[in-house]
Structure 1
Amino acid sequence: MKALATSTLFWLMWFSSHIGLKCEERNFRIKMDEFSVKYKVRDLIQHIDFRIVNLNNRSYVNGEMIVNSDVNDILMHTTMDFWKTTTQKKIKLYDGRLDACQFLKTSHRNGLFKIYVKSFKKHVNGNLACPLKMNFNYTLTNWHMDERDLPPFVPLGKFRTVTEYFTQDRLALRIVTQGKVLSYKTN
């Protein structure tokens, strides 16, 4: 958790120093190459299906999930690695374990997570809060990272996130996202 706090503090300071320039034109775009969801607790998940759709030079994630019972406790382990195009050196942006229910309530306190959760909430059909409701179809429609929500300068490179969700001391879901930060001129 200390590593998460240190890297989070760095990125929070970096993002906050650029937040005043938010209205500037962006010269980069975010492209997702993979958004894979593997579920491990078969008795918990009634239905799950997520996929990437590429349209108009942008990648979107669409999908849905239905759980068989209310889910009150969710622990999350999440990591994000980034490789700058210029150096190819791996940078760990964060690696942390936290209570996902508490995270959804307090994500506004962390700049990097705030951007991600804000983006996600714009594209989901229900309230992302605990407990997750039994038989509710949580639908994600055309989710993408809007470059206007990010600072005006983000280095070009590749990223990979791995997020695992645990409930009742069991690994329930594992989501892997891979993508690129590309120059806006790149096709």
Structure 2
Amino acid sequence: MTTLLWILWFFTINQITSSERSFRVKLTEFSVKYKDTSVVRNAGFRITELNNRSYVNGELSFKSDVPEIDMRTTMDFWKHNNTKRKFKLYDVRVDACLFLRTVHRNSLFNIYVKSFKKHTNANLVCPLKKNFNYTLNNWFMEENDLPVFIPLGTFRTISEYFLLKRKLGLRIETYGQIYPYP
């Protein structure tokens, strides 16, 4: 009987994790502003739309090696049909280099970074290299990597990266929505 329960549990979990999601994540804005021109050479990103999906493409390069990065990131969420009430999903400040090495310890951030790493041309570890063109190709949030039950609504993330001498180097704002998808 116990074996039968384990088999049923396995197939139930497998069905939940592999089932198609009834929502889609759409990015409506992805803006990157670089503040410290003594370190950041260029940062250019754009969103493209294709087959009911939004993709982010772009590139980033530095004028010098970047051995340490502090990051402050926040995410706000507004439920569908409720634009007045905002939920703060997270607001954290972390050592980004340590974060990239240990991201597997936080499941929410692990989903994001795992998705991001699939679409970059380099292993994102510190130090970031000078004169290297870090490229992001057709990045999107894969819905099957996310939990099955996600509320519909809109979101905003703001990530600020403090580079050499703790000076603000980059600011990335992302706006998007989670909407029903057949």
Q: Same fold (TM over 0.5)?
A: yes
Q: Which of 46, 55, 70 is 1:51 aligned to?
A: 46
Is 2:104 aligned against 1:72? no
Is 2:29 aligned against 1:34? yes
Aligned residue number for residue 96 of structure 2: 100
User: In the TM superposition, what is the alpha-carbon distance from 1:87 to its structure 2 partner?
Assistant: 3.5
Aligned residue number for residue 145 of structure 2: 149
1:140/1:133 CA distance change after superposition, 3 Å: same
Q: Distance in 1 between matches of 2:36 and 2:43?
A: 12
8 Å Cα contact 1:71-1:130 kept in structure 2: yes
Is 2:23 aligned against 1:22? no
User: In the TM superposition, what is the alpha-carbon distance from 1:86 to its structure 2 partner?
Assistant: 4.2
Q: Which of 169, 173, 176 is 2:166 aligned to?
A: 169
- Structure 2 unpaired stretches of 5+: 1-12
1:20/1:128 CA distance change after superposition, 3 Å: farther
Q: Distance in 2 between matches of 1:169 and 1:121?
A: 25
8 Å Cα contact 1:21-1:151 kept in structure 2: no
Q: Distance in 1 between matches of 2:54 and 2:82?
A: 25
1:155/1:99 CA distance change after superposition, 3 Å: same
Aligned residue number for residue 14 of structure 1: none
User: In the TM superposition, what is the alpha-carbon distance from 1:153 to its structure 2 partner?
Assistant: 1.3
Identity %: 60
User: In the TM superposition, what is the alpha-carbon distance from 1:94 to its structure 2 partner?
Assistant: 0.2
Q: Distance in 1 between matches of 2:28 and 2:130?
A: 31
8 Å Cα contact 2:36-2:168 kept in structure 1: yes
Q: Distance in 2 between matches of 1:107 and 1:37?
A: 22
1:172/1:178 CA distance change after superposition, 3 Å: same
Aligned residue number for residue 183 of structure 1: 180
Q: Distance in 1 between matches of 2:52 and 2:123?
A: 29
Structure number with larger C-alpha Rg: 2
Q: Distance in 2 between matches of 1:104 and 1:74?
A: 10
Query: In structure 2, the residue corresponding to 1:83 is in which secondary structure?
Result: strand
Where in structure 2 are the equivalents of 1:80-159 lying within 5 Å?
80-88=75-83, 89-159=85-155
8 Å Cα contact 1:73-1:101 kept in structure 2: yes
8 Å Cα contact 2:33-2:43 kept in structure 1: no
User: In the TM superposition, what is the alpha-carbon distance from 1:21 to its structure 2 partner?
Assistant: 2.3
Aligned residue number for residue 8 of structure 1: none
8 Å Cα contact 2:155-2:177 kept in structure 1: yes
Q: Distance in 2 between matches of 1:176 and 1:40?
A: 14
User: In the TM superposition, what is the alpha-carbon distance from 1:48 to its structure 2 partner?
Assistant: 1.6
8 Å Cα contact 1:22-1:150 kept in structure 2: no
8 Å Cα contact 1:19-1:151 kept in structure 2: no
